[in-house]
Structure 1
Amino acid sequence: MGRPKALDRKQQLLEEILEYLRTRTLSSVTFRTLADALGVSSYVLVYQFGNREALIGDIVREIDYRVTYSGLPNELEVDYAEFEALVERGLGELFTAESRHLLRLQVEAAVLDAVSENPKGNLAQFQHLWSALVVEFVMQLGVSKEDAEALGAGLINTFGGIRLDYVLNGNDAEARRNVAASMKLLRELVVARLGGPEAAEDAMKKRVSVTLDAPALAVAQRPNPAR
């Protein structure tokens, strides 16, 4: 029986790989280029990751974790104002130089995945979960399922565009303004779907339970999660 793989060593390698990728693309990654850059033998990388597909998969899952993990409980009870603040704060934390680097790699991974023979759909899955969170929340306020699904898809697709614009332009202040404007528009649309400001007043103060499935998935799928 071979000796078990060292979990801390693999995590250390992922840290070094992400640092190496600051000025490179995922598509350029090979065991040889990484071995040369990190000062290790190709055997070490093969031992820890198996093959190139598994290596890229682990890199992407580590990126997903860093971009998505919130540190919040999986279950929350919030009113609309708290939900709004939660979303704005969570997205605002992405608009840093470190996160821009990770978001760039995440976008590249999604583009490469779209033409892969064995697509994983990582980013699409997270997008779906975030949209489902919005749908779940506004439906509990009294918005119809049809309207809630349209609002959820619209908001998450807008956020996807804001994140991509930040990757391309790096303007964090503009990104935060756009997120705030999107949340303001969502509030106006929710209030309208509930029948106007007076009719919606009680619903907007209602505390409802929501499940943060996306961060939970990011934790579960992270390479070598803490045990």
Structure 2
Amino acid sequence: MGRPANPNRRPELLAQILEYVASSSLSRVTFRSLASALGVSTYVLVYHFGSRKELIDAILDESVRMRREALDGLDVASFSREEMLVWMREAFIASLEPRHLPGIRIQFEAGSLERIDPDIGTRITDSYGVWRALFGEWLRRQGVATAEIDRLAVHITNCLFGTQFGYLITGDREATIDVFDIALATTIGQVDAATA
């Protein structure tokens, strides 16, 4: 009779895997490459993750979970304009913390692979849709004209995701926050124009 599985082992492995893929391409992740990098047998990874698809699912689930932490316990759609601006800025600045950057990088890579690699799934597209719907509902509650809601929801979501991508490229935190502040001001100008 084998010994029982350690319930802490999978989360420990996943944390190590996330560190590894932070500096490696998600498209190159295999059990063999991970086992070599982590100093474990491929059997250990297969035992805890099953297949490459399940492993990729676990990696992406964890990275999306970190992004959604910003929404925990909040009814963001009910925020006033001022509350939304403060929350978006604070959440954006928090997303630039070093602990979040591997997850953001993984999400950008996965998002670009979703259309060509069936193992990736649609997790990033789905996450993007959640944020777009959230901003759309907030815009509706702000009294934005119905015809403008989707366009502006895309604008806000793209500003958030795109500015994070810019930070991954430049590594310039202060300039990235400045650019995000410009994006927020532009967004509010668009909201004002659509509610006038």
Same fold (TM over 0.5): yes
Structure-1 residue corresponding to 2:73: 73
Question: What is the CA distance between 1:138 and its match in structure 2?
Answer: 1.7
Question: What secondary structure does 2:95 align onto?
Answer: coil
In 2, Cα distance between equivalents of 1:3 and 1:114: 41
Q: Deviations over 1:40-61 (max 9, x none)?
A: 2211111110011111111111
Structure-1 residue corresponding to 2:128: 127
Question: What secondary structure does 2:179 align onto?
Answer: helix
Structure-2 residue corresponding to 1:151: 152
Q: Number of paired residues?
A: 195
Question: What is the CA distance between 1:26 and its match in structure 2?
Answer: 1.3
1:4–1:185 Cα change, 3 Å:
farther
In 1, Cα distance between equivalents of 2:190 and 2:112: 32
Stretches of structure 2 lacking an aligned partner (at least 5 in a row): none
Structure-2 residue corresponding to 1:50: 50
What amino acid does structure 2 have at the position aligned with 1:171? D
In 2, Cα distance between equivalents of 1:175 and 1:106: 18
Question: What is the CA distance between 1:75 and its match in structure 2?
Answer: 2.9
Stretches of structure 1 lacking an aligned partner (at least 5 in a row): 196-227
In 2, Cα distance between equivalents of 1:174 and 1:44: 43
- TM score, norm. by length of structure 2: 0.89
Question: What is the CA distance between 1:144 and its match in structure 2?
Answer: 1.6
Q: Residues 5 and 48 of structure 1 are in contact (CA less than 8 Å); yes or no, is this contact kept in structure 2? A: no
Identity of aligned residues (%): 28
Question: What is the CA distance between 1:172 and its match in structure 2?
Answer: 1.3
Question: What is the CA distance between 1:109 and its match in structure 2?
Answer: 1.4
Structure-2 residue corresponding to 1:224: none
Question: What is the CA distance between 1:71 and its match in structure 2?
Answer: 6.2
Question: What is the CA distance between 1:2 and its match in structure 2?
Answer: 8.7
If asked which structure has higher relative contact order (CA below 8 Å, sep 6+), I would say 1
- TM score, norm. by length of structure 1: 0.77
Structure-2 residue corresponding to 1:171: 172
Structure-2 residue corresponding to 1:38: 38
In 2, Cα distance between equivalents of 1:48 and 1:190: 48
Q: Deviations over 1:30-83 (max 9, x none)?
A: 112212222222111111100111111111111111233126314354211011
Q: Deviations over 1:86-118 (max 9, x none)?
A: 111111112233323222121111222220236
Q: Residues 57 and 120 of structure 2 are in contact (CA less than 8 Å); yes or no, is this contact kept in structure 1? A: no
Q: Residues 131 and 156 of structure 1 are in contact (CA less than 8 Å); yes or no, is this contact kept in structure 2? A: yes
Q: Deviations over 1:133-179 (max 9, x none)?
A: 11111211211221111111112122222122111111111211121
In 1, Cα distance between equivalents of 2:50 and 2:72: 33
Structure-2 residue corresponding to 1:110: 111
